[in-house]
Amino acid sequence: MTQPVPSAPLVESAVSVDSELPSPQRLRLLSYNIQGGVDTQHYREYLTQSWKHLLPHRERLQNLNRIASTLEDLDIVGLQEVDSGSLRSGFIDQTEYLAQLAGFPHWYSQVNRSLGKIAQHSNGVLSRLQPAHIIEHRLPGLPGRGAILLEFPTSDGAVLGVCVIHLALGRRARKRQFAYMSELVAQYSHLVLMGDFNCDRSSGEFQFFLRAVDLWGSGLTKKTFPSWRPKRTLDHILVSPSLRVLTEEVLAYSVSDHLPVRMEVALPEGVTLVGSA
């Protein structure tokens, strides 16, 4: 099993300490591949507007502002395809920018593929509650894929793990990454796993993963990709059986080439997050 990067501190945002904390028993979650703030509305734009993935442009910040407006009532947000501060993003860490705009007191960026000043391909997480630990994991396969794992203590003496991932495009690499993840998440009695899996639940490698772990969702089948005419469910939120899914939906919000997935979950009766309001 690949060794994780040592535990790192969550960055504090310069927002008011009066920002609303999550309920001690419920969490409102969102997973969103934001494509670096690039708004794609047709397959041909991957070619005709490919320069937007390499160079700064005014619409990028406008799109981030639009995304931030959808995050203000959430507790934890997992982001994929964010830029951590390079030429194409105007040297703005997009995770930090969204945290500031949406009022999240804590945020963290995981750079998975650094192209120096050209691009900083990353995962990101925004949180209203400070985790006890946060650990980066480099996923097997070619460099560039990773997972962020946050740990929140619970009143039953256990830990709620929240993991944000972005899996590979290739099936063989995804199978290795699913195998890695199955070992990683086995230690948590309370777990949320969310991100861009780059495959549907019906795929062989996803089914392999589900047979190896005790995770489930609400059975949501609404498509998330491409955002302008969704045909595939690539973005997922899975939870352990100890967590009760209250609501789950795909938001019809096409700022990226993916649609975001939102879920609200409840901890077991009598169990609360330690340190929440």
Tell me if 3 is assigned to some domain: no
Amino acid identity, residue 277? A
Amino acid identity, residue 232? R
CB 190 within 8 A of CB 154: yes
Tell me if 7 is assigned to some domain: no
Q: Cα(108)–Cα(12) distance, rounded to whole angstroms? A: 9
Tell me if 109 is assigned to some domain: yes
| Count of domains forming the chain | 1
Tell me if 19 is assigned to some domain: no
Q: In tens digits, what is the pLDDT along the chain, a chain of 277 residues?
A: 443 444 444 454 444 333 454 677 899 999 999 998 888 777 676 676 765 666 667 788 899 999 999 999 999 999 999 988 777 777 889 999 999 999 999 999 999 887 888 878 899 999 999 999 999 999 999 888 999 999 999 999 999 999 999 999 999 999 999 999 999 999 999 999 999 999 999 999 999 999 999 998 766 678 999 999 999 999 999 999 999 999 999 999 888 999 999 999 999 999 999 865 4
Q: Residue 173 has what pLDDT?
A: 96
Is 14 buried (19+), middle (13-18) or exposed (0-12) by CB count in 10 A? Answer: exposed
What does residue 248 show for φ and ψ, rounded to 5 degrees?
-155, 135
Tell me if 16 is assigned to some domain: no
- Distance (Å) of CA 187 to CA 21, 53, 139, 191, 260: 26, 38, 18, 9, 28
Tell me if 271 is assigned to some domain: no
Domain that holds residue 222: 24-266
Tell me if 77 is assigned to some domain: yes
The CATH number that applies at residue 110 is 3.60.10.10
Tell me if 18 is assigned to some domain: no
Q: Cα(70)–Cα(254) distance, rounded to whole angstroms? A: 12
